[in-house]
C-alpha cells in the first residue's frame, strides 16, 4: 500500500516523499488511519519499526486544522524516556512538518539549561516533546498551559516505567484535558504498562505489530563465552578487525566500563568513543553527531544513553556485558538492522551469565548460537551446555577473521589466532 492511500494531505505526503519512503511500514499502515480518525491507540511495536512516523504523521494532519481553543500552550505532547529519543522525535516533527504552515516544535529535556527552556515556553508551542521529570518541573512552576492539548503520545512507555517515571507520567496526564487523543507506544502491552494504558486511554484500538518472538529476524545473533574482561577485549578486537564492520555499538553495563572499553579500543587504533549518562548533553550530542557523520566508528554505550539512537549504518552490536534485564537485549540489538537492513549481534558472556542467556532466549523464543573463535576458545563453558558449535562457522555465511564475500579487504583482516595471543590493551576492567 503506498503512502498516498493513507489519507495524508499534500504538504505532509510531499515531506514523506522527500525522505524517500515509498511504502508505509506495517505499524504505519495500521496506526495512521486509526489515528487520523482520532481514535486512542495502544501500539506494541519495536524501535526501528517506523513508529515515530506512525504517530507524527497523523498528528501533524490534526495540527494542520485550526485549534478550537485559544492560547499558547502545546496542542501535542510527546513524552519520551530519554533525551536521545526526544531529539529523534523532534527531528521527525521538523522533517515531516517542513511544508506545513509553521509548526512550532519545542523539546524540554532533562540536563539542559532552564533559562533557555523558560524562554521557549513563553512563546506559542504546537508540539512539545519532553522527558517526564523536567516537564513536571516546568508544570509546577506554572510555565505550561495544557488547555489547547489535543494529542498525547507516550513513546516507549514500558521504558519510562522501567525508569521509574510512573508517578511523573500520572501527574502530567492528570493536567491534560480528558478530551485529548492518547497514543501509547510500547515494546510490550502486558503488566504495568497494560494497566497504565487502560487508565489513560478511552476505547483504544490495540495494534500489535510484532512480539519479542517475531522481531529482529534480520539480525544474526551469536554468543561467545569468555573467561574474563581481557578475553572479551580480544574477541571484540578480533571481530572489529576481521569483519566488514561499517559502524558498531558496544554495550557495557556500567558507565565506567564504557569509558574503559572506549579507551582500550582507541588505544588499539579504532575510532571509538563512549556515550553514557555522566556526559553532559552537549558532549552526548557531539558524540552522536560524530557517529552519524561516520567520524566515530565504534560507540561504547550504556543502555540508557543508547536508547533512541537511530543510525542506519550500524552493522554490528556487541554486548560486552549482557544486559541485566532481558528486554534490554532486544532494545540493544535493535540498534542494528535499521530501516530494512540486516545486522549482526555478538554477545559476550561469562559462564556465570548462563542464566541470563537462558532468560534472553526465553524472551525472544530463539536459541542464540554459541560460537568459538579458533585460538580464542574459553577455558570454561557452562557445564550443562557443552559447546556443540566449537569451531563451527557462524550461521550467516561469514567466517570470523575473514572478510565477507565481496567485502573490501581491510588491513588486519583474517588474522584470528595470532592477534588473539597478543597483549590486550585493557587494564582496568573487573
Ligand atoms: P523508528 O521506529 O521510528 O525509530 O524508525 C526507524 C527507522 O525507519 C528510522 O530511520 C526511520 O527514518 C525509518 N522509517 C520510518 N518510516 C519508514 C518507511 N515507511 N520506510 C522506510 N524507512 C522508514
Instruction: Tell me the per-residue pLDDT of 240-258, one tens digit each, with 9 for 90 and over.
Output: 987 678 899 999 999 999 9
Mean pLDDT for the chain overall: 84
366 or 406: which carries more pLDDT confidence? 366
Distance (Å) of CA 321 to CA 75, 182, 233, 399: 42, 37, 11, 23
pLDDT at 308: 66
> Rounded to an integer, what distance in angstroms lies between the CA atom of residue 328 and that of residue 347?
13
Q: Which positions ≥6 away from 382 have C-beta within 8 Å?
A: 225, 351, 354
pLDDT at 186 over 60: yes
Cross-strand pairs, 274 = 300
Residues at CB less than 6 angstroms from ligand 1: 21, 24-25, 28, 47-53, 310, 312, 338-339
> Rounded to an integer, what distance in angstroms lies between the CA atom of residue 415 and that of residue 283?
35
Model confidence at 281, in pLDDT bands (50, 70, 90)? confident
Q: Which positions ≥6 away from 229 have C-beta within 8 Å?
A: 426, 429, 430
272-219-235 Cα angle (round to 5): 45
**Residue 19, C-alpha cell as written in the block:** 525522505
Q: pTM of whole model > 0.85?
A: no
What distance in angstroms lies between residue 51's CA and the mean position of ligand 1's atoms?
Answer: 7
Give the nearest ligand 1 atom to 45 CA. Answer: 2
Rounded to a whole number of angstroms, the CA Rg of the chain reads: 23
Residue (of 121, 126, 35) closest to 76 by Cα position: 126
pLDDT at 383: 60
Neighbours of 430 (CB within 10 A): 7
Number of residues that make up the chain: 430
SS3 409: coil
pLDDT at 291 over 60: yes
Give the nearest ligand 1 atom to 52 CA. Answer: 3
pLDDT at 345 over 50: yes
> Rounded to an integer, what distance in angstroms lies between the CA atom of residue 202 and that of residue 272?
47
> Rounded to an integer, what distance in angstroms lies between the CA atom of residue 230 and that of residue 421?
11
Q: Which positions ≥6 away from 287 have C-beta within 8 Å?
A: 273, 274, 275, 279, 296, 299
> Rounded to an integer, what distance in angstroms lies between the CA atom of residue 125 and that of residue 144?
10
pLDDT at 406 over 50: no
Q: Which of 172-176, 235-239, 276-280, 291-295 has the lowest mean pLDDT?
A: 276-280
Q: Which of 64-73, 79-88, 378-387 has the lowest mean pLDDT?
A: 378-387
> Rounded to an integer, what distance in angstroms lies between the CA atom of residue 257 and that of residue 250?
11
Give the nearest ligand 1 atom to 24 CA. Answer: 19
**Residue 193, C-alpha cell as written in the block:** 504498562
Model confidence at 1, in pLDDT bands (50, 70, 90)? low
What distance in angstroms lies between residue 32's CA and the mean position of ligand 1's atoms?
Answer: 14
Residue (of 158, 162, 216) closest to 184 by Cα position: 158
| CB neighbour burial string for 204-230, b if at least 16 within 10 angstroms, e if fewer | bbebebbebeebbeebbbbbbbbbebb
pLDDT at 422 over 50: no
pLDDT at 175: 97
What distance in angstroms lies between residue 196's CA and the mean position of ligand 1's atoms?
Answer: 27
Q: Answer positive or negative: Cα dihedral of 148, 153, 158, 164.
A: negative
Model confidence at 418, in pLDDT bands (50, 70, 90)? very low
For cell 492539548, the residue is: 149
**Residue 47, C-alpha cell as written in the block:** 524501535
What distance in angstroms lies between residue 119's CA and the mean position of ligand 1's atoms?
Answer: 32
Residue (of 182, 242, 158, 220) closest to 40 by Cα position: 182
Model confidence at 417, in pLDDT bands (50, 70, 90)? very low
pLDDT at 374 over 80: yes
pLDDT at 408 over 60: no
> Rounded to an integer, what distance in angstroms lies between the CA atom of residue 12 and that of residue 58?
9
SS3 55: helix
pLDDT at 15 over 80: yes
SS3 11: helix
Amino acid at each position: 500500500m503506498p503512502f498516498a492511500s493513507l489519507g495524508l494531505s499534500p504538504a505532509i505526503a510531499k515531506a514523506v516523499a522527500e525522505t524517500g519512503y515509498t511504502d508505509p511500514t506495517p505499524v504505519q499502515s495500521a496506526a495512521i488511519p486509526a489515528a487520523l480518525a482520532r481514535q486512542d491507540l495502544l501500539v506494541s511495536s519495536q524501535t526501528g519499526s517506523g513508529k515515530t512516523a506512525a504517530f507524527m504523521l497523523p498528528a501533524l494532519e490534526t495540527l494542520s486544522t485550526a485549534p478550537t481553543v485559544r492560547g499558547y500552550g502545546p496542542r501535542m505532547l510527546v513524552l519520551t524516556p530519554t533525551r536521545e529519543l526526544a531529539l529523534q522525535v523532534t527531528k521527525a516533527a521538523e522533517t515531516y512538518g517542513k511544508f506545513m504552515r509553521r509548526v512550532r516544535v519545542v523539546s524540554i529535556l532533562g540536563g539542559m539549561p532552564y533559562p533557555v527552556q523558560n524562554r521557549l515556553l513563553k512563546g506559542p508551542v504546537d508540539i512539545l516533546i519532553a522527558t517526564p521529570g523536567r516537564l513536571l518541573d516546568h508544570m509546577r512552576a506554572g510555565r505550561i498551559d495544557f488547555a489547547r492539548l489535543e494529542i498525547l503520545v507516550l513513546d516507549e512507555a514500558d521504558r519510562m516505567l522501567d525508569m521509574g517515571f510512573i508517578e511523573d507520567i500520572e501527574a502530567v496526564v492528570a493536567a491534560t484535558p480528558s478530551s485529548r487523543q492518547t497514543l501509547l507506544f510500547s515494546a510490550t502491552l502486558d503488566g504495568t504498562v497494560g494497566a497504565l494504558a487502560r487508565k489513560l486511554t478511552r476505547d483504544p484500538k490495540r495494534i500489535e505489530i510484532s512480539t519479542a518472538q517475531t522481531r529482529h529476524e534480520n539480525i544474526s545473533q551469536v554468543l561467545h563465552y569468555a573467561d574474563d574482561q581481557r578475553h572479551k577485549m580480544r574477541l571484540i578486537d578480533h571481530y572489529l578487525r576481521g569483519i566488514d564492520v561499517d559502524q558498531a555499538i558496544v554495550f557495557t553495563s556500567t558507565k565506567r566500563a564504557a569509558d574503559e572499553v572506549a579507551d582500550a579500543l582507541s588505544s588499539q587504533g579504532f575510532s571509538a568513543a563512549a556515550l553514557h549518562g555522566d556526559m553532559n548533553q552537549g558532549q552526548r550530542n557531539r558524540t552522536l553527531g560524530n557517529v552519524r557523520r561516520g567520524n566515530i566508528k565504534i560507540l561504547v554505550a550504556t543502555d540508557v544513553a543508547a536508547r533512541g539512537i537511530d543510525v542506519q549504518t550500524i552493522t554490528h552490536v556487541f554486548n560486552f556485558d549482557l544486559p541485566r534485564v532481558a528486554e534490554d537485549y532486544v532494545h540493544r540489538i535493535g540498534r542494528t538492522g535499521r530501516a530494512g537492513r540486516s545486522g549482526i549481534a555478538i554477545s559476550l558472556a561469562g559462564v556465570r551469565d548462563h542464566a541470563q542467556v537462558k532468560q534472553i532466549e526465553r524472551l525472544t523464543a530463539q536459541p542464540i548460537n554459541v560460537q568459538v573463535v579458533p585460538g580464542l576458545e574459553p577455558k570454561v563453558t557452562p557445564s550443562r551446555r557443552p559447546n556443540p558449535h566449537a569451531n563451527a562457522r557462524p550461521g550467516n555465511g561469514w567466517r570470523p577473521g575473514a572478510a565477507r564475500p565481496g567485502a573490501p579487504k581491510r588491513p588486519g583482516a583474517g588474522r584470528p589466532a595470532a592477534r588473539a595471543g597478543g597483549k590486550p590493551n585493557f587494564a582496568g576492567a573487573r
